Chains A and B, each alone.
Chain A
Amino acid sequence: MGKRRYSVVDIIIYAVLTLGTVLCLLPVLNMVAISLSETSAAATGTVYLWPKKFTLASYQKLLSEANFFSSFMVSVKRVLATLLVAMPITITMAYALSKEKKYYRERNVVMWLAVITMMFNGGLIPTYITIKNYGMINNFWVLVIPGALNVWNMIIMMNYFRSIPHELEEAAMIDGAGAWRVLVRVFLPISLPTLATITLFTVVNSWNDFFTGLVYITKTAQYPLQTYIRSLTVKIDFTSMNPAQLIERMKVSSITFNAAKIVVSMIPVMIVYPFLQRYFVSGLVMGSVKG
C-alpha cells in the first residue's frame, strides 16, 4: 500500500489497538520491574513499572542454579522433537479429516473420536498408571509423545483446510497428483498463517509445560526448564542463627524470584513469534484456478 491520508477512522483504530497493547504491556513491564527490584521494596507491592533498588540478584540466582543450562537444553530438545513429531501427525490428520465423508468414509467417526478426547479425561491417576505401564517414567520421550497430537490445533488446521476451494484440489488431482502430493504441494504453501499459528502454539506449549516433567520425571537433572525453574523455591529458616544464611536467603524472595521465572518463560515466545510472523501474510494464491 502506498502513501495515503489517514482518516479519522484510521486514527481511532490505531488508538484502540495502542490502548489494548499498552494494557497488555503494563503487567509485563511490572514483572520485569519486580524481578529487578530488591526484595523488601518489592514486598511493599508498590513496584509498578520501574524497579526499586535495582538488583540482578534474582536472575543471578536463577542462572547460577546447577541444572539451569542442562534443563534449558532438555527443553530445547523437547521443542525440536515435538515439532518433528507433532507437526506431521497433526497436519496429515487435519488434512485427511478435512475431506468429506464421501471421500473418506470413516471421517466422522475419527473426528468424533478426536473431539471426545478433548472433553473426557481419565484423570491424573489413570494416566499416570498407563504411562508407567508403558515404561515411560523418567524417559525423555514422555515429554514429547503423549502430547504430540494436540486435538485443538488439529481442528483449527482442519477447519482451514476445509475452507480451501475444492477446485484447487481437483485441478491438481486431474494432473495426476495423489493425496500426499496435493497436501504438500498445494495445500501447505497456501496455509502459511494457520501453519504459523499452530507452530507457535506447539512451540509455546511444549516450552512452557511444567506439569509433565513434574509428574513423570523424578531425576532433577532430566527436568525440562519450566519444571526445573518451578522446583527452585526460596525456603528460609528464620530461626537460623547463621547470619550468612539469613543474608544470603534474603537477597531473593519468592516475589522477585517468581517474577524472574516468568520473564524467563516469556523470552522464547518473544524470539520465536516475530520470526513466525512473516508467515502471517494474506491471501490464497488463486492464480491456478480462475474462471
Chain B
Amino acid sequence: MKIWKGGARVRNKKSEWAYRLMTLPGLLLLVLFCYVPMGGIIMAFENYVPSRGILGSEWVGLENFRYLFSMPDVSQVIGNTVIIAVSKMVLGIAVPVAFAILLNEVCSVGFRRVVQTIVYLPNFISWVILGTIFQQMFSANGLVNTFVQSLGFEAIPFLSSGPIFRALVILTDCWKGFGFGTIVYLAAILSISPDLYEAATIDGANRFQRILHVTLPGMLSTIVLMGTLSLGNVLNAGFDQIFNMYNIMVYDYADIIDTYVYRIGLISMQYSLSTAVNLFKSVVSCGLTATAYIMASKFANYRIF
C-alpha cells in the first residue's frame, strides 16, 4: 500500500539525506579500521619479511597458494573442514531454533529467564579449559565411559577414533554455542505480532500448527539471515576447539585447515602463508554468501540483507 501524496516525494529526498547521514559514521569506521588495513592482503602475494615492510617485500604472485595446495593431505584437510563446518552450521541453527521455540511456549516468565541466562553461560568458558574437561570426561576411563560401561556396553573410543571424535567435536560445539543462538531466535519470535497467534487460534489451530504456521514463518527471515552469515564461516570450523581437544590419533579426521597449517608450523613467522590461507578462506566465504544472496534474490525475490 503505497502512499504517494505530493508532500511525500519531498520528504523522501530529505529522508534519503537523513539515511546517508546515518550511515556515515559507520562507514567512516569501516573505512578507517577495516578497509585501510585490508590493503595488507597483498602480503599473501609476497614473500613478506617483517623488517622490509609490506611494500618492501618481494612479490611472488601465486607462489604461496601453489605451495599451500601442494602440501600433502591438503584435500583431506579441506574435506574435514567442510564436513565439520557444515555439520556445525546445521546443528547451530536447528538446535537454537528448536530451543527458542520451546522456550517461547513456556508460560512461567521466571523459568524462562533462568533458562535463558544459564544456557548462555557455556559460551564464556574458553576452549582451553573445555578442551581439558572434555578430554578427561570422554577419556577411556572418564565419566562418560564409566557410565556407558555400567550399562553393560563397551567403552566408546571418543578420543582415539576419528569419526567418533569428529561427532564429539560437532556436538560439544553445538552445546557451547546454542545459548547464544537462542537469544537471537527468541528475540525474533517475540517480534511476531500476537494478533497472528490470535487469528490462528480462532481458526482452530492447535499448538503444533501454531508453531508451524505462525512462529516458524515469523522467524524465517532471521533463520535465513543467520544461516547465510554462518556460510561466511564455512572454512573456519573452529580452530580453538579442535586445537585444544584433538590428539595424534585423530589427525586424519579432525585436522581442519587452521590446525593443519598451525601444526606444519606455517603460522609462526610465515605471515605470507597465513595471509594466503586467510585470503583463500575469505574468497570462498564471500563466494558462498554472494551465491546464496543471488539465488534468494532471483528465485525467491527475497533480499537476505
Contacts and interface: CB of A to CB of B under 8 A. Distances in A.
A24 B175 contact: yes
Nearest to B37: A122
B27 interface: yes
A262 B129 contact: yes
Most B Cβ at <10 Å: residue of A14, A18, A110, A120:
A120
A288 interface: no
B191 A148 contact: no
Nearest to B43: A123
A23 B122 CA distance: 9
Nearest to B304: A159
Nearest to B16: A104
B195 interface: yes
B295 interface: no
Interface stretch (B6-14, B71-79, B151-159, B255-263): B6-14
Given A113-B30, A160-B191, A273-B120, A119 B286 contact: yes
A200 B183 contact: yes
Contacts of A179: 14-15, 18-19, 22
B194 interface: yes
A162 interface: yes
Interface residues of B, number: 88
A146 B136 contact: no
Interface in A171-230: 173-174, 178-180, 191, 193-194, 196-197, 200-201, 208
Contacts of A173: 8, 11, 15
B29 A149 contact: yes
A17 B102 contact: yes
B113 interface: yes
A110 B23 contact: yes
Contacts of B222: 156, 159-160
Contacts of A166: 1
Interface in B63-113: 99, 102-103, 105-107, 111, 113
B40 A31 contact: no
B204 interface: no
A274 interface: yes
B121 interface: yes
A123 B27 contact: no
A111 to B, nearest CB: 6
A158 B187 CA distance: 13
Interface stretch (A73-81, A240-248, A279-287): A279-287
A207 to B, nearest CB: 10
A155 B179 CA distance: 19
B133 A277 contact: no
Nearest to B126: A262
A45 B194 contact: no
B35 interface: yes
Contacts of B192: 282-283
Contacts of A280: 116, 186-187, 190
Contacts of B15: 99, 103-104, 173, 178-179
B20 A96 contact: yes
B202 to A, nearest CB: 16
Interface in A235-291: 258-259, 262, 265-266, 269-270, 273-274, 277, 280-284, 286
Interface string A11-53: 0011011101101110110110000000000000100100000
A97 B8 CA distance: 20
14 contacts: A20-B99, A20-B119, A24-B118, A120-B38, A123-B275, A125-B54, A126-B40, A129-B54, A174-B3, A197-B187, A208-B124, A269-B124, A274-B113, A280-B116
Given A27-B130, A149-B30, A155-B305, 8 more contacts: A89-B26, A117-B34, A120-B41, A160-B191, A173-B15, A262-B124, A270-B121, A273-B117
Interface of A: 1, 4, 9-10, 13-14, 16-18, 20-21, 23-25, 27-28, 30-31, 45, 48, 89-90, 92-93, 95-97, 99, 103-107, 110-111, 113-123, 125-127, 129-131, 134, 145-146, 148-149, 151-152, 154-156, 158-160, 162-163, 166-167, 170, 173-174, 178-180, 191, 193-194, 196-197, 200-201, 208, 258-259, 262, 265-266, 269-270, 273-274, 277, 280-284, 286
Interface of B: 1, 3, 5, 8, 11-12, 14-16, 18-20, 22-23, 25-27, 29-30, 32-41, 43, 50, 54, 99, 102-103, 105-107, 111, 113-122, 124-126, 128-130, 133, 136, 143, 175, 178-179, 183-184, 186-188, 190-195, 207, 221-222, 225, 229, 232, 271, 274-275, 278-279, 282, 285-286, 289, 305
